[in-house]
Amino acid sequence: MPLPVDLSPHDITVPVVIRNAPPGRLYEHAVSREAAAIMSTGAIAIRSGAKTGRSPGDKHVVQAPESEADVWWGSVNHPIDDHTFLLNRQRAVDYLNTRDQIYVCDGYAGWDPSCRIKVRVVCGRAYHALYMQNMLIRPTLDELERFGSPDYVIFNAGQFPANPHTTHMTSRTSIDLSLERHEQVILGTEYAGEMKKGVFTYMHWLLPGRGVLSMHCSANQGIAGDGRPGDVSLFFGLSGTGKTTLSADPARRLIGDDEHGWGDDGVFNIEGGCYAKCIHLTERREPEIWRAIRFGTVLENVVYDPATRLVDYESSAVTENTRAAYPIEFIDNAQVPCVGPHPRHVIFLTCDASGVLPPVSRLSREQAMYHFLSGYTARVAGTEMGVSEPQAAFSACFSAAFLVRHPTVYARMLAAKLARHEARAWLVNTGWTGGGYGAGTRIDLGATRRIIDAIHAGVLDAAPVHRDDVFGLDAVARVPGVAERLLVPHRAWPDEAAWETAARRLAAKFKDNFRAYADQAGADVVAAGPA
């Protein structure tokens, strides 16, 4: 059949298209065309090709007069001109037009109707279409019929490389965003996460312009007496710090696991699904995620037995960055619609590879701003190409890779909301204790869960603290069910002098990193950092 005019831009001419197909039909195409496998659970296991993580060095933003003064140019947003964008766009369109059929997925980003945008994905792989149907908010049949023109379009031709001789190209991979054209073009990478983060990057640009704080965080809400909704908590942190795992709590309702907005009426999820890391996944440790792997779920880059179709979640033979993508409704206690009131707790998760930060610290508002702008963590193996073990890193707003505006824009908005809604701020280390990576041990997930439970219960609001002389952090010294020796880092190390040496080394990195924000952050925020 001819491609209906309203499905995608006029220069897509492929005569056969599968638009918003049900999971079963997409499974059929993925299996027959891409040698995927359907697990005993009904989930589909598939490979993303050579790229098993994001390629941040190949991300480009069009430098245009309308927006260039407000874009944070540099190592995150690499500028290209509009002509180069159009060349890559045409390369993607030409490739898609060579396919026997393509897949078009229409969905929404943003559960708050006042902030919602219509997203269209045009791609050549059934797996990419199914993935984005899981990750976007799915329209009803009536909404799909009335969908009309999209606000944002993704052309995913990831199977086809960029031309490295094109101006501004650094490799055969290119992920290009045009704020003015409201489009993203993907070449040379089949990693599905580039589409998800492309939508988030665009929302990071759009929402602050509307007075809404866009955030790289998960969110959940407690259940008060008689089943009434309770307090909301936000969990900030990069991949591998525990956002998805810690927010999937059987005692609380999940609003979302990764991307949110905070507006005048409260918080809302940007996505319609979850993209959970599943390396070392077990039913005992993460029962909510385990049960979400069912018919409709996309398992990305996992290792499985071809005879039994059983997944080996312990294996990292393909990558550490194994993933499960599923609609948020697959979480038993998901809160749908995915919205909530203003948060009571804002929790910064850091994976401290040096092992010197406390498992939980109570932050002043100034300390909260310091650590939000610092965004310290460790890059976890597999999350990005070329990362094989944790590496110390600073990511402004725990989201630098996706920020479009300057970090202080988001930081000032967060400061205002913390003050206006009297939210408490916490720093929770999910990394190492008793020594750094290779010497100490990773903090037990059960201990971290007990810390989070105590925060929600209000037990830590007035708990005793131990202030260290290096970071000036008030480490909470007593948490029910957690060994007190673990809570004060220098006591967990076999040699306290070695802890202090490592702590001062890390503190110096904090101070070096923060120089980029010191002038705009203000003296009181600078003073809230390491002494």
The pLDDT tens digits for 134-166 are 999 999 999 999 999 999 999 999 999 999 999
> Does the active-site annotation cover 197?
yes
State yes or no: pLDDT of 2 exceeds 50: no
DSSP state of 29: H
> Does the active-site annotation cover 239?
yes
From 239, 241, 319, 361, active-site residue = 239
What average pLDDT does the structure give for the chain?
91
Lowest-confidence region among 46-50, 227-231, 283-287, 316-320: 227-231
pLDDT in tens, 162-206: 999 999 998 999 999 999 999 999 999 999 999 999 999 999 999
Coil, strand, or helix at residue 301?
Answer: coil
Could you tell me the maximum CA-CA distance found in the chain, to the nearest angstrom? 74
Query: Element (H or E) spanning 261, and its range?
Result: strand 259-263
Residue 15's pLDDT is 73
Between CA 201 and CA 376 the distance in angstroms is 20
* 264 and 310 together in one domain: no
* 28 and 98 together in one domain: yes
State yes or no: pLDDT of 226 exceeds 70: no
Coil, strand, or helix at residue 159?
Answer: coil
* 307 and 401 together in one domain: no
From 29, 51, 128, 216, active-site residue = 216
Write out the E strands in 395-471.
424-429, 432-433, 441-442, 465-467
> Does the active-site annotation cover 216?
yes
- Asked if residue 45 belongs to a domain, the reply is no
Lowest-confidence region among 112-121, 179-188, 247-256: 247-256
- As a whole number, mean pLDDT of residues 480-497 equals 93
> Does the active-site annotation cover 244?
yes
Coil, strand, or helix at residue 103?
Answer: strand
Classify residue 167 as left (phi > 0), alpha (psi -120 to 50) or beta.
beta
Tokens of 521: 């952050």
From 58, 112, 231, 258, active-site residue = 258
Please, what sign has the CA dihedral across residues 513, 515, 517, 518?
Answer: positive
Cβ contact 276:289 at 8 Å: yes
> Does the active-site annotation cover 48?
no
Q: What's the pTM value of the predicted model, to 2 decimals?
A: 0.91
Cβ contact 124:100 at 8 Å: no
Final residue in a domain of this structure, among 135, 156, 190 = 190
* 89 and 125 together in one domain: yes
From 29, 91, 197, 253, active-site residue = 197
Q: Please give the tally of structural domains in the chain.
A: 3
Query: For the purposes of burial, counting CB atoms within 10 Å of the CB of 108, is it exposed (0-12), middle (13-18) or buried (19 or more)?
Result: buried
- Asked if residue 12 belongs to a domain, the reply is no
Range of the domain at 326: 277-330
From 84, 178, 189, 244, active-site residue = 244
Please, what sign has the CA dihedral across residues 209, 212, 213, 214?
Answer: negative
State yes or no: pLDDT of 92 exceeds 70: yes
Cβ contact 345:456 at 8 Å: yes
Residue 6's pLDDT is 46
Tokens of 123: 């791609």
> Does the active-site annotation cover 243?
yes
* 162 and 245 together in one domain: no
Alpha carbons within 13 A on the beta-carbon side of 509: 17
Confidence of residue 383 (pLDDT cuts 50, 70, 90): very low
Tokens 């499985």 belong to residue: 304
From 243, 253, 379, 424, active-site residue = 243
Cβ contact 213:413 at 8 Å: yes
* 456 and 429 together in one domain: yes
State yes or no: pLDDT of 246 exceeds 60: yes
CATH for 302: 2.170.8.10
* 269 and 302 together in one domain: no
* 254 and 320 together in one domain: no
* 428 and 303 together in one domain: no
More confident residue, 177 or 22: 177
- As a whole number, mean pLDDT of residues 215-244 equals 84
Query: For the purposes of burial, counting CB atoms within 10 Å of the CB of 498, is it exposed (0-12), middle (13-18) or buried (19 or more)?
Result: middle
To the nearest whole percent, how much of the chain has pLDDT over 70?
A: 94
